[in-house]
Every structure is written in C-alpha cells, then in structure tokens.
Copies of this chain bind each other. A is one copy, B any other.
Amino acid sequence: MDAIASYIEAQHARLHEELHALLSLPTVVAHGRAIPETAQFVRHSLEQRGAQVQVIPMPNGGAPLLYAVFGAGQGKRRLLIYDHYDVQPADPEELWQSPPFGPTVRDGKLYARGVADNKGNLMLRIQALEALHAVAGELPCEVAFVIEGEEEIGSPNLPYFTQHYRELLVGEGMLWETGRRDVNDRPEITCGVKGMAYVELVAHGAAYDQHSQFATIVPNPAWRLVWALNTIKGRDGRVQIAGFYDAIRPPTAAEEAALRSMPDTDDALLAELGLPAFLDNLRGMERLHRHLFEPTCNIAGFGAGYTGAGSKTVLPCEARVKLDFRLVPDMSPDVVVQQLRDHLDQHGFSDIEIVAHNGSYPARSALDSRLVQALASAAEAVYHLPPVLAPTMPGTGPMYDLAQQFGIPAAGGAGCGYAGNQIHAPNENIRMDDYWLAMRWMAEFVRHFAA
C-alpha cells in the first residue's frame, strides 16, 4: 500500500464524520434551505487545510460561491476544480428508506441526498489534498476550487461570476464535479456535458376548479397540455418542433472512436434500471450514440387536478407540465425555447404559457489534453483497470460557462459515483469503498497533472 492509501486509511473515522456532517445539512437550493450553513461548513473544511478562501456573494440573494486556492504559487501548473454544495429536492420523501438528510450506512453503502451529487466528490477531493499534503509536505501544483451553491437550479448566477471574476478562471484544465465507476466498475472520464432548456408549460381553464359535470362545455387545461405535448414529441420519440435538430454538430472522428472504445454495458445498465429493453430496443453502439450524442425532451413533472388517494371528480382550472430538454453541441437553450413558443403558436396553442426556468449551453473538451491523460493514468494506477473515456456525459452542467468559453479543457473523473447511485431519486447512495478509492484517484491525479 502506498503512503497516500495508508494515510487515508488511518484517517477514515475522522474523514467519514466530516462527510456525515456535510450530508446532514438539507441544502435544497430549490427551496432555499440551509445555504449559509453549508457554505460556512465547506469554507471551514477548506480553511482548516490551509486554503485561501474567497466567499463570493451572488446577485439577488443567490447562494454564495466559494473560491479556494491550495498551494498558491507551487509547481508549474494550475488545476481548476468545479464542484457544488447544493443538492436536489428529496421528494418524494416517503420513498426513502432512511431520512434523506440523516446519512445512513447499510450494507457498505452510504445513503443521503447529495452524497453522489455532489457532496461526496466535493469532500473527498478536499480530503485528498490533505492526504497529498500530509504525505509530500506540499502540493505539486496550485489547485483552485470553484464551489457553487446553485447547480441544481441551473447555475443562474454563474454568468455573473464568469463575467466579474474572469481572472480567477485560469488553469491548464478543470476537473469537473462528476466522477464515477461504470457498471463494470471501470473508472470513467467524461469530456463534455449536455446543455439544458428547462421550461414549464401552463394551461389555464375556468376561474377555479369545477365539478367535472362541466366537462361537456368547459375547457380542461390538462387535456390542452396532453394535446400540445402530443404535437411536441410523437410516439416514435422524435421531437417535432421545427428546427430542433438543425444546430446539432456531428461528433468528431475522435469522439466516435472514443465511443467505440467504451465497453458494452447494456445488460448491466438494464438490470440496474429494472427494464427489459431500452427505448426502440437500442443496443450497443446505437444505444451509446443515442445516449451521448442526441438531445432529449423529457416530461419531468405533470401536475393537474386531484392526484391523492381515492377518487375526486374535478375539472382542474390549471395544469402544469415541466419539460427538460438536454441539448448537444451546438444547440442553444434560448433558441430551443423560442422554437417551442413558435411551435405552440403555430399549432393552435397560443393559450399555453411558457415559464422558462433555466438554460445552459452544451460543451465538449479535447480528449488528448493533459487533464484527461492525467485522469486516465492516475485511474489505472489506483484501480488497475483501463478507464473508460467518454466523449461527453449525458448530464448537464455549466462547463461552457466556466471552461469551454475560455478555452480551458474540462473533464469529469476522480469521483465516488457508481451505476446504482440513484442521483436525483430517492435513496441516493454511494459505496463507501468507492469513496476511499476515489480519494486516492484524486491525489494521484493531482500528482500526474502537475508532473
């Protein structure tokens, strides 16, 4: 066992306790919960390890961003790291087997909202720097964390940060918040993100909910949304909004090659999802291609009328559907929202209101950068498995805002995720063994990157 692994093992109890305390904070940014407490907690974790921390207030009372520099002036390179301390809402809470903000270990897994997305990675990366410093006496390069508190609501204030603190975004690479092992437990490195257009469609009817006897003559906003949605995406899964697919840039040869080098995880993923087949019976490369290189139009929520137990005969006066579109390069969230508006108007649904919640641009980074190569060689050293190099994540994040627009490569890796994380769902969890291994991956990565 190497010195870093030994150091980490000796500190398990203390480091685990620190993670537990962070997870106990209900940092649901969508509901404005526990923001100052969590920011203060993370600041303390950083400062007690010698980081210089700036707490940067965000406009309109937004959650503050933490900028923390370790090993200022050391080495010849500079590594940027992006993480976030906020989490998704925990509902439906009744489906949790233990309280979402009462971290619980069962069968070697740690259950808590945010443990996989993103508090686990945030904490293990900070703790990895402690281990690296303890073993080597110093860091091999300067490392700067950008830690925001609004990722789960679409990072509305990051453009403010990138405009006003441009000078802080300097480095030869940015480690992204994400990092995990795939369904075969191979460490995964991801070199891009999808973008996002998140909207709510609202249809209105009578002045207040009606007895459903009036369904003969009173418009039902839930039916309006059903009919409108049916024009937006057909049963073949194809989005029918004019121009929706026009801006898509075909994958590069290198990206296609990376895709082909990815393992066939179809059956393991299906088992994890509890599904007999993917949509359209996609398999192998076709499945991967669809998953990584194509956009989506997802119903994230549909609420109308009475949804409780038993029956109630009501004609609702309002219906709402939340739609999230995942975008690939070079789609733009603003363009998609406008295309959606035009589509609704052209199809006779001018009455349906669009509330645009947030948008974010897609991004992809070079696969042959020092950042990606260091993540790969460090992973191989720790896991003794060839890492998976994914041209992009299917998920979303502000990679364009923080890195791509400044020409900085960004990639995910050195994280504790696995295929059963249930992120954004009840019973979110990590495997504790992964947590300690990812901490070693992180420490090794910084060494390789600095070399």
> Which residues of A does B touch, CB under 8 Å?
30-31, 88-89, 91, 95, 152-154, 194, 196, 198, 205-220, 222-223, 226-227, 229-230, 233-235, 273-275, 278-279, 282, 287, 290-291, 294, 296-316, 319-320, 322, 324, 326, 348, 357-358, 393-396, 422-427
Contacts and interface: CB of A to CB of B under 8 A. Distances in A.
Closest 8 CB pairs of A and B: A207-B274, A303-B307, A30-B310, A215-B298, A301-B305, A222-B299, A215-B296, A213-B394
Contacts of A235: 227, 348
Given A206-B274, A279-B219, A306-B89, A298 B230 contact: no
A222 B302 contact: yes
Nearest to A427: B208
Nearest to A212: B298
Given A314-B301, A424-B312, A424-B314, A279 B218 contact: yes
Nearest to A269: B217
A291 B108 CA distance: 62
A326 B424 contact: no
Given A153-B311, A211-B395, A424-B212, A303 B303 contact: yes
Contacts of A425: 208-211, 314
Nearest to A30: B310
A290 B348 CA distance: 24
Nearest to A357: B311
A307 B298 contact: no
A81 to B, nearest CB: 22
A307 B296 contact: no
Contact of A307 (B212, B214, B302, B423): B302
A214 B233 CA distance: 16
18 contacts: A30-B308, A152-B312, A198-B313, A206-B275, A207-B273, A209-B422, A211-B395, A212-B298, A212-B324, A216-B291, A218-B273, A223-B229, A227-B235, A299-B316, A301-B314, A303-B303, A312-B322, A313-B424
A162 to B, nearest CB: 21
A292 to B, nearest CB: 8
Contacts of A220: 298-299
A222 to B, nearest CB: 4
A305 B311 contact: no
Q: Quick one: which of A213, A278, A308, A315 has the most chain B CB within 10 A?
A: A213
B206 A273 contact: yes
A274 B317 CA distance: 10
A193 to B, nearest CB: 10
Given A198-B311, A208-B274, A305-B299, A290 B216 contact: yes
B302 A315 contact: no
Contact of A422 (B208, B233, B309): B208
Contacts of A348: 235
A197 to B, nearest CB: 11
A427 B209 CA distance: 10
Contact of A314 (B273, B274, B300, B310): B300
A396 B358 contact: no
Nearest to A206: B273
B301 A307 contact: yes
B211 A313 contact: no
A227 to B, nearest CB: 5
B213 A396 contact: yes
Contacts of A213: 194, 296, 326, 393-396
A306 B294 CA distance: 24
